[in-house]
Structure 1
Amino acid sequence: MNPHEFEAVRGVADLYVHDTGMFDTAGYGSVYVYDTPNPAVIDTGTGANVDALVDTLDSLGIERSDLAWILPTHAHLDHAGGAGHLADRYPHATVRVHEYGVRHLVDPDALVAGTKAAVEEQWAYYATPEPIPEGRIDGLADGDRIDLGDRELVVHEAPGHAPHHTVFHVPDDDVVFTADATGIYVPSVDEVRVTSPPPQFDLDRCLADMELVADLDPDTLCFGHFGPRSYDRALIESAKRAYVEWIEAVRAKRAELEDDTAVVDHFEEASADVDYWNPERARAEASLNTRGALTFLDSHED
């Protein structure tokens, strides 16, 4: 699948994955569309390529008056940046996001400022988000259910990546939309890469979130980056090890260098992810992850 195209998710009826072309990296931004009686878009990308997503919905026969739900898994703008733009195009759709994220999408100024500070020059790949009117958005909490017409989507809080992060489970389809709760899946090596952005990443909660996904024991995991994969417990266990080893690596390098800027520089230069996506994005990812790990360590010093 090429950027801005879509395809059916194997083994899940009426579910499609759309590649947003995020960061000029094929597969990096995965948006999911349920073509059910009450159609839903799960995650929205940065908003920079929203026209291509609208084309996908048009191709599926989802009219502007038909879309029922816009469902960002969390408020980070690589997942929710297009929510306001879609709400403008689809006047009958309701936006649902974790209750902690609602205010950020109603008034995105603080979220934009924080994102710019976090992603730096990568902001060029984002669109300025459109505020969502309060009457068009509702909060989500653990255990809430979204009616898709012929099946239900169940909400589970997953605050390790961020306090406003959720995963969605559709029991009838045995599919879980993990967003960033289980890391970034890289198909070319069939492994999970860590995502630990500042300022609210929490390792302990992240490990609990991965256990939550494992306990749901789905057939299919729909990652927020690089698309769906069949579930197996070994993948989750390897992801948990990767997260623990990552935090320990940052802890050790901080003790060695005693300068956080030097620590960030080290992991930018050492990033292996340049083999999986473009060098610019690889360095940005390493910088974000290192700064998030350092912030977590600061909050967990004895």
Structure 2
Amino acid sequence: MAPGDVFDVEQCSDIAYVDTGMYDTGEYGSVYVVDADRPAIVDTGIGTNYERILGALDERGIARDELAAILVTHVHLDHAGGAGYVAEACPNADVYVHEIGAPHLVGPERLVEGTKKAVGDQWQHYVEPKPLSEDRIVELEDGDEVDLGSRTLTAHHVPGHAPHQVVYEDHADDAVFTADAAGIWVPSQDRVRETSPPPNFDLEQAITDVELIRRLDPDVLLYAHFGPGPDDVDAVLRQYEQVLRDWVETVKHEVVERGSEEAAIDHLSVTTDVETVWGEQKAREETAMNVRGVLHYLKTRENE
């Protein structure tokens, strides 16, 4: 498996995914192609190497002017950064996004500023997003349906990771495109990992979101990071709830143990166990970002 490779989702009909090579890392970022009467993609990556998404459309025989829908799960730039680029190349595609996130696709300046603060040195892998015109955007609320002709997807609001996040439930294949609401699936390690970036991570709401997905009772989870999840959906969702709880407790413990927030960040970022999968830089910077997200959450709770 290498960046740019396209794979069928074996558990689904007419759904494929491409490894976008996000952050120059394989098996981290996936964008899904839904070959329906009205073809769609789910998420768009960071904008860098968006041509790999267009290549996936080509490989599936979907012409640029045939793409009908760009389904953004949330406006964090690792999911929405390529929306303007793909929309420019695919002139008939509407961009679907939760109503809270829509203004950030039209005017991405604040989003870019916040992303730079959150991702630190990882910004070197990004490109500036292309703003979208309002007439290309379809705003979603919880429970709204996206009609793709031969299949219908329902958007469910799951704000624990970000207030503008939705997951898409695909009724035809009994699948859920999970965004970041079910964590990060690491296929080579056969496990799910936390994602808790600043400034909007909320532990209690994130667990509520996982419970919502479990109530949908899907047959397959389609992770943005990365690819189709394991067969035992209920088990991995329950595992993720515990991962989140344990992660927050770990961060709290390390701050006390190390004597400062910065020392805790430094320690946890150099003891991550995904360096062999994502490479040292990505593994450490992602872990540091997730620690900062937990610290922000804990301070917010103290001030309530």
Query: Partners in 2 of 1:29 and 1:287 — Cα distance?
Result: 19
- 2:252 is matched by which residue type in structure 1? R
Query: Partners in 2 of 1:186 and 1:97 — Cα distance?
Result: 26
- 2:223 is matched by which residue type in structure 1? F
* Deviation of the 1:231 alpha carbon: 4.2
Query: Partners in 2 of 1:243 and 1:74 — Cα distance?
Result: 20
- 1:233 is matched by which residue type in structure 2? D
Q: Hey, what does 1:184 align to over in structure 2? A: 184
1:67-146 correspondence runs (5 A): 67-146=67-146
Query: Partners in 1 of 2:69 and 2:75 — Cα distance?
Result: 16
- 1:207 is matched by which residue type in structure 2? I
* Deviation of the 1:257 alpha carbon: 3.2
Aligned: 1:285 with 2:286: yes
The count of corresponding residues between Structure 1 and Structure 2 is: 302
1:29-48 CA deviation, whole Å, 9 max, x = no partner? 01001011100010000110
Query: Partners in 2 of 1:27 and 1:249 — Cα distance?
Result: 26
Q: Indicate conservation of the 8 Å contact 2:7/2:18, yes or no.
A: yes
Query: Partners in 2 of 1:161 and 1:108 — Cα distance?
Result: 19
1:152-163 correspondence runs (5 A): 152-163=152-163
Query: Tell me, what secondary structure is at the counterpart of 1:167?
Result: strand
Deviates more, 1:112-121 or 1:32-41: 112-121
Query: Partners in 2 of 1:55 and 1:268 — Cα distance?
Result: 35
Aligned: 1:244 with 2:245: yes
- 1:113 is matched by which residue type in structure 2? E
* Deviation of the 1:11 alpha carbon: 2.2
Deviates more, 1:239-248 or 1:228-237: 228-237
Q: Indicate conservation of the 8 Å contact 1:106/1:133, yes or no.
A: yes
Query: Partners in 1 of 2:234 and 2:56 — Cα distance?
Result: 32
Q: Indicate conservation of the 8 Å contact 2:221/2:233, yes or no.
A: no
Query: Tell me, what secondary structure is at the counterpart of 2:73?
Result: coil
Deviates more, 1:265-274 or 1:80-89: 265-274
* Deviation of the 1:139 alpha carbon: 1.2
The two structures have a TM-score, normalised by structure 1, of 0.97
Query: Tell me, what secondary structure is at the counterpart of 1:180?
Result: coil
Q: Hey, what does 1:4 align to over in structure 2? A: 4
Query: Partners in 1 of 2:93 and 2:233 — Cα distance?
Result: 34
Q: Indicate conservation of the 8 Å contact 2:74/2:166, yes or no.
A: yes
1:14-67 CA deviation, whole Å, 9 max, x = no partner? 101111011122110010010111000100001101112111112212112211
Structure 2 regions of 5+ residues with no counterpart?
Answer: none
Query: Partners in 2 of 1:92 and 1:128 — Cα distance?
Result: 23
Aligned: 1:298 with 2:274: no
Q: Hey, what does 1:39 align to over in structure 2? A: 39
Q: Indicate conservation of the 8 Å contact 2:142/2:157, yes or no.
A: yes
Query: Partners in 1 of 2:267 and 2:183 — Cα distance?
Result: 22
Q: Hey, what does 2:29 align to over in structure 1? A: 29
1:39-58 correspondence runs (5 A): 39-58=39-58
Aligned: 1:271 with 2:295: no
- 1:66 is matched by which residue type in structure 2? E
Q: Hey, what does 1:255 align to over in structure 2? A: 256
Q: Indicate conservation of the 8 Å contact 1:221/1:231, yes or no.
A: no
Query: Tell me, what secondary structure is at the counterpart of 1:192?
Result: strand
1:54-102 CA deviation, whole Å, 9 max, x = no partner? 1111221211221110111000000000000011111111001111110
- 1:172 is matched by which residue type in structure 2? A
Q: Indicate conservation of the 8 Å contact 1:163/1:200, yes or no.
A: yes
- Identity, in percent, stands at 47
The two structures have a TM-score, normalised by structure 2, of 0.97
Query: Partners in 2 of 1:35 and 1:232 — Cα distance?
Result: 24
Query: Tell me, what secondary structure is at the counterpart of 2:66?
Result: coil
* Deviation of the 1:256 alpha carbon: 2.9
- 1:300 is matched by which residue type in structure 2? R
Query: Tell me, what secondary structure is at the counterpart of 1:70?
Result: strand
Q: Indicate conservation of the 8 Å contact 1:65/1:90, yes or no.
A: yes
1:151-197 CA deviation, whole Å, 9 max, x = no partner? 10000001111101111101121000001101000111211000000
* Deviation of the 1:138 alpha carbon: 1.9
Query: Partners in 2 of 1:165 and 1:197 — Cα distance?
Result: 13
Q: Indicate conservation of the 8 Å contact 2:41/2:71, yes or no.
A: yes
Query: Partners in 2 of 1:19 and 1:215 — Cα distance?
Result: 29
Query: Tell me, what secondary structure is at the counterpart of 1:188?
Result: helix
